Structure 1
Amino acid sequence: MSEAQVTFRQFLLNNRRAHGTDKDLIFLLEDIATACRIISHRIRSGAFAGTLGATKDVNVQGETQKQLDVIANEVFVKHCSNCGRVAALVSEEVDEIIWLKDRPAAGDYLVYFDPLDGSSNLDVNLSVGSIFSVVALEDALERTSDEAVLQKGSRQICAGYAIYGPSTSLVITTGSGVDGFTHQQGTGEFRLTFPDMRIPETTREFAINASRYHHWDASMRRYVDECLSGENGPRAQSHNMRWTASMVADIHRILTRGGVFIYPVDRENASMGGKLRLMYEANPLGMVVEQAGGMASTGTDRILDLPPQSHHQRVAVVMGSSDEVRRINRYYQEAQ
């Protein structure tokens, strides 16, 4: 059977034989894939169902919720709750942790997710996505608490995302590389279409919200100025700049052709610690990027080593091709 014909289930079973993937994790990942298929359908039919546009509510991040933010969250909660090993769900859209067990056992799962990343793109028909990761508890818990979910990204046993674009793709890692699947319309199957995804070390492409230039510190301005100065600048080469306002879409582009994604701490967001959330954005995508041969940093520290302070913590993010991440890290070090 060719790789393009391998279904998501067959891939997971092969992974179990090769790497010992836990059978309950396979069940959970199949539930997540089902959630992503449903969300994809709800997005594509949103204009007909009247589910585009905003609600009257604001989420815990202080952001106005889109109707599909709420729908996607409900779909994730419903399907991730199917697995009997799941102890808690941690969502961007919900202030409180959703505990499914009163006394979780060692090995039970904590699931973190951003159910609909980049939802501001919905009304203009641009790509959006979902992000997820799984941590297994090291020890049993006598009682549940917010502190129990504050796990370093290095403890993730699985991470991935779905991107809802011209096709629906599902990209995952269980700690042995990164593989991408495409939803085959009419069959309901995700099939392996991008095996062993790798990020090249070097790149001439970066993704950043340049409208925030006047908020950046000197290190970030230095990096972007050098990239934009082109062949006559200190780097003696031209660079492309991209920005889609969806972290998933930008990271997916980097996974397929290289680049670096940057959302730094700046003067405007410094009081919050940055813009992007550590537990269900930076950590999961950081694991994916590292497993594909890239690097994930705050500009000073490895993201996956950060000890979380809260489950809605925000951080600076620099991730992608390793040469560029190292360069940005060096610029921050030289500025200290």
Structure 2
Amino acid sequence: MSNIELNQAQETTLSRDFTTLTRHVLSQSGDFSADAYDLSLLMGRIALAGKMIARELSQAGLAADALGVTGEINVQGEAVKKMDQYANRVFIRAFEQSGLVCRLASEEMEKPYYIPENCPIGRYTLLFDPIDGSGNIDTNLAVGTIFSIRQQQGIDETGEALDLLQSGHQQVGAGYVLYGSSTMFVYSIGKGVHAFTLDPSLGEFILSSENIRIPDHGSTYSINEGNFWQWDEGMREYIRHVHKQPGYSARYSGALVADIHRILFQGGVFLYPGSQGHPDGKLRLLYESAPLAYLITQAGGKATTGTEAILDVIPDRLHARTPLIIGSTKDVDLVLSFLQTRANG
């Protein structure tokens, strides 16, 4: 390699290493206003929480009393994992006295966590699923964190959070952190989708993929086929169809973030339909479906309940659930064709 080529390679590496998450968010905002700095700092605090969770997960098998359940049941009626509880506390501590958010809302809490000292200077509400796929933790499989940012509207000391009962179009930004073979942070603030990888030597999330576009079609479908006989006939017909088509692969990890991450880069479709026991599905609109729909739509994909675009859905309560069909446009449209044909008789 010549000196010129070596210098060019070094400059490329330095340019990449200096494109940190907070710097990138600031550049995406397009100005250096107070709002832009606040959004950049907010993303930085989410990233800090992600780093702390990644560190805890990497040592969970060695740390005493880190795995398993707490014995408590959350507002969703589900057993609380110890790491769920830990990650929820991490987010609260990360934003207390930060001046960045007025409320934190999580699927682990019945009502939002109100931070009066941050109001009214904290103009945002952060909604999050602290550990998505927490059932994977005890067997050392991939899990993630999902987050959504919305504008704070007024004071909400009662915790009713009625201003959050709006469509997903009201999101200011959304993303996820994936804890896998590497820790990745993927986000959008309405100007494309961008991915960052945690460099442990620097302790920073460094830009690894910018302006990601999901392929129009992929060969992967992700669904828990153990629920096959609980679905409507249109969904069963779609599954029978892909079973007969060459080139399709079933990939279902048990962690929504992990499956969405694969589909974002490789294409395909993720499905969590309603069932006999859960006609509205099991995924939470505000903490899971809406933020991921925002992200996938920004990347050129599509997200629907099967009858309505996810971003158009207005929840009737904080912990509302919804079916989810999300991924490459052509793959989602194929699913919808089976559902609509069956619905039309």
Gaps of 5+ in 2: 1-10
Which position in structure 2 is the counterpart of 1:4? 16
**Quick one: distance in 2 between partners of 1:212 and 1:265?**
10
Which position in structure 1 is the counterpart of 2:285? 278
Which position in structure 1 is the counterpart of 2:257? 248
**Quick one: distance in 2 between partners of 1:301 and 1:255?**
21
2:99 is paired with a residue of what secondary structure?
Answer: coil
Instruction: Report matched runs for 1:170-189 at 5 Å.
Output: 170-189=185-204
**Quick one: distance in 2 between partners of 1:217 and 1:53?**
34
| Structure 1 residue 9, shift from structure 2 partner | 2.2
| Structure 1 residue 330, shift from structure 2 partner | 2.5
Instruction: Report matched runs for 1:118-133 at 5 Å.
Output: 118-133=133-148
Bigger Cα displacement from structure 2, 59-68 vs 163-172: 59-68
Residue 319, structure 1, aligned to residue 334, structure 2: no
Which position in structure 1 is the counterpart of 2:154? 140
Out of 295, 298, 315, the residue aligned to residue 288 of structure 1 is 295
| Structure 1 residue 102, shift from structure 2 partner | 8.7
Gaps of 5+ in 1: 231-236
Structure 1 letter corresponding to 2:87: A
Structure 2 letter corresponding to 1:4: R
Which position in structure 2 is the counterpart of 1:93? 108
Structure 2 letter corresponding to 1:244: S
**Alpha carbons 2:114, 2:157 under 8 Å: kept:** no
Out of 22, 30, 36, the residue aligned to residue 50 of structure 2 is 36
Cα RMSD (Å): 1.9
Residue 54, structure 1, aligned to residue 69, structure 2: yes
Which position in structure 1 is the counterpart of 2:268? 259
TM-score of the superposition, structure 2-length normalised? 0.90
**Alpha carbons 2:28, 2:191 under 8 Å: kept:** no
| Structure 1 residue 57, shift from structure 2 partner | 0.9
| Structure 1 residue 101, shift from structure 2 partner | 3.1
Aligned residues: 327
Residue 63, structure 1, aligned to residue 78, structure 2: yes
The change in CA–CA distance for 1:4 and 1:259 in structure 2 (over 3 A counts) is farther
Pick the structure with greater CA Rg.
2
**Quick one: distance in 2 between partners of 1:259 and 1:330?**
16
1:288 is paired with a residue of what secondary structure?
Answer: helix
The change in CA–CA distance for 1:293 and 1:82 in structure 2 (over 3 A counts) is farther
The change in CA–CA distance for 1:107 and 1:30 in structure 2 (over 3 A counts) is closer
**Quick one: distance in 1 between partners of 2:330 and 2:342?**
19
Bigger Cα displacement from structure 2, 94-103 vs 243-252: 94-103
**Quick one: distance in 1 between partners of 2:96 and 2:173?**
17
TM-score of the superposition, structure 1-length normalised? 0.92
Residue 14, structure 1, aligned to residue 27, structure 2: yes
| Structure 1 residue 119, shift from structure 2 partner | 0.6
Bigger Cα displacement from structure 2, 12-21 vs 61-70: 12-21
Residue 298, structure 1, aligned to residue 311, structure 2: no
| Structure 1 residue 334, shift from structure 2 partner | 2.2
Out of 328, 333, 336, the residue aligned to residue 340 of structure 2 is 333
